[in-house]
Structure 1
Amino acid sequence: MNDEYVIDFVRIIENIVRITTIANELHNELHASNRRWWVRPVNLTRQEEGFFKTCIKQLQEKDEEHFFKVTRMNVSSFNLLLSLLKQRMERFSNRKAIDPETRLAVTLLFLAHGCNFNVISWAYKIGISTVRKIIYETCDAIWNELHVVYLSPPNLSEQKGIANKFYVKTGMPNCLGAIDGKHIRITSPRNSGSLYYNYKKTFSIVLMASCDANYVFTYVDVGALGSQSDGGIFARSAFGSKLLNGTLEVPSDAKLPGTSTSFPYYYVGDSAFPLKQNLMRPYPGRQLDEDKDKFNIVLSKARVHIENAFGILANRWRVLHTTISAFPKNVDKIVLATVVLHNFLMLQNDRNYFTLEYADHSVGNQEINGRWREEVPSLESFHQRTVNRSTTNAFQLRETPKEFISRNTL
């Protein structure tokens, strides 16, 4: 190899190095000017100009009526809730962390109105991924911190109290609660096929619950696939499986009021549920004998409590009326949070959240629909079909409360 060739080769290498260096410098300069912000400039004014400071805080101090419309609770309930959740919601960071009060306000706005994540992001001047994370984490905190107190299964003494209240209100003896299930619409989960595709041709998960005579939920199960048969959903729920196989803890048989006849305690449901020893449903058909018709009317008065409980729940927490765009596990968190918040506010006697006129009620001999029915449609109930077969013994058992009601109903 001659010297001239070597010199040319070295020059070529030098030119390549120089061009590469220039290209890298230009790339780094361009990347530096276009890289994403750690915090978007528009969000740097969150503390002074965000929705919490300009709206929520002012409503909290000066306008409790509109504060309720935003958060679905009065100021004292909000402050109590914040104190219960504060420790779980505190975050620590090199940057200024979003405080628990703002986190709770963001989550309540989402649950109460079903707002799009982008809308909340723009209003609160918080990144959209941060909004999503805040909501899921706060829903988790609400469930984990509150469900033990506000959604614990009633003990035997409490169950007897529930039965007494049902009898006084409806004339249904030994009734421990009303049960039903509702479909909660979701966007189609990725790669889920038809697992969540229900008979209404939408995608959903199922919320199964029971309630007492005060519209407070006593048991709840959420997350069943919308494609499952209704009987299958109930049987697979923790509450339903125990009720069907007779392992649910209920009080011992008690005498029907004013009689010497002992009878089991039971829950009431509509015709979608099987007839079992601890589960009553109405007689089928339309032109029924008078005693069967009376039984159905009284059972319906008890069963409608769960319809009202769901109606109040979905009216106050409008996210349940939207098609929730989230992974199923996060939808579960959202739904469970609304149920616990419902119980929290009902048991706190928040008069803005619920008054007697809000549920179906009677004035004299006139039945009046609850106000929630005027404001929102009902959540989609189970398709009316029974999968679990009823037993002969259960058919015979139902005759006893039917005769009792026939004798004691005008």
Structure 2
Amino acid sequence: MSSSNFNNLLVRIGPSIARRDTKWRKAIPAKIRLAVTLRFLATGDSYQSLHYLFKISPQVISEIVPEVCSAIIEALKDIIKIPKEKQEWLAIASNFETGWQFPHCLGVMDGKHIVLQCPFNTNSEYYNYKGSFSIVLMALVDSNYNFIYADIGCQGRISDGGVFRNSTLYENIYRPNATIPQSVPIAGYKNEDLPSVFLADDAFELTTKILMAFIRKGLFNGFSIIASPVRAL
């Protein structure tokens, strides 16, 4: 994270995470509280490890992290949101066409496994195909890598496609009154209407709204081919 982004985030949440000094001790500054939390989120270090780095007790860190995370969610909840109007989707598609030469693209989605210790009494519920325990972060981004949707917490044993089908994003895309732009011709190809699509990898189901990359295995006698721009993103 750049220093400007850090300072911008600190300005947004600083007042809500700052604590007053007491007669017995000085409060941990809001800047340090944010730095501890971001370090934990970025690396997954244990509280004990963060204790040696920041010279703050693990008990205090265990209180800081949830508080700062809640403040970040509250401050950014209106920034990371799914477009509600057709014109907002069209603006995203226009940026994809301009920046990536890919028309009618409304976003790129994928899932990320976040490794964790096996939660108590869950057996293999969080055990994933990579041989570890995890929860899944499902995200949709625009052409500038900005998040426009995020869902986290689904069990690691569930595939990316399964997480997507059980998400509010799926409901927003496939509901009858969805604001997704209708199929229209691409410039230069006026004889055929082509739909607006979301790009994903082969963990997702290929539909009229989800366009995935070509599967590399088994095509052209085993020779791999260049995948669609979803790989570049």
Q: What TM-score results when the alignment is normalised by the length of structure 1?
A: 0.50
Specify the alignment match of 1:157 in structure 2: 87
Counterparts in 2 of 1:173 and 1:124: CA distance versus 1, 3 Å: closer
Higher relative contact order (CA 8 A, sep 6+): 1
Cα separation, 2, equivalents of 1:227 and 1:248:
30
Cα separation, 2, equivalents of 1:84 and 1:282:
38
Cα separation, 2, equivalents of 1:109 and 1:270:
29
Deviation track 1:25-53 (CA, whole Å, cap 9, x = no partner) reads xxxxxxxxxxxxxxxxxxxxxxxxxxxxx
Shift of residue 305, structure 1, vs aligned partner: 4.6
Deviation track 1:143-183 (CA, whole Å, cap 9, x = no partner) reads 2111312x122343232122123223443321111111121
Instruction: Point out the structure with max Rg over C-alpha.
Output: 1
Specify the alignment match of 2:219 in structure 1: 286
Deviation track 1:265-284 (CA, whole Å, cap 9, x = no partner) reads 11121222112221122455
Specify the alignment match of 2:161 in structure 1: 231
Q: Quick one: which of 60, 65, 70 aligns to 1:130? A: 60
Cα separation, 1, equivalents of 2:185 and 2:37:
47
Specify the alignment match of 1:210 in structure 2: 140
More strand as a share of residues: 2
Q: Does 1:119 align with 2:49?
A: yes
Cα separation, 2, equivalents of 1:255 and 1:208:
30
Cα separation, 2, equivalents of 1:98 and 1:283:
51
- Matched letter for residue 132 of structure 1: S
5+ residue gaps, structure 1: 1-71, 307-410
- Report the aligned-residue RMSD: 2.6
Cα separation, 2, equivalents of 1:250 and 1:177:
12
Contact 2:173/2:180 (<8 A) preserved: no
Shift of residue 122, structure 1, vs aligned partner: 3.2
Counterparts in 2 of 1:109 and 1:181: CA distance versus 1, 3 Å: closer
- Matched letter for residue 304 of structure 1: R
What SS class does the counterpart of residue 132 from structure 2 fall into?
coil
Shift of residue 117, structure 1, vs aligned partner: 1.4
5+ residue gaps, structure 2: none
Specify the alignment match of 1:400 in structure 2: none
Residues matched between the structures, number: 225
- Matched letter for residue 232 of structure 1: G
Q: Does 1:73 align with 2:2?
A: yes
Q: Does 1:82 align with 2:15?
A: no
Shift of residue 304, structure 1, vs aligned partner: 2.2
Specify the alignment match of 2:173 in structure 1: 243
Contact 1:178/1:305 (<8 A) preserved: no
Counterparts in 2 of 1:198 and 1:277: CA distance versus 1, 3 Å: same
More helix as a share of residues: 1
Q: What TM-score results when the alignment is normalised by the length of structure 2?
A: 0.83
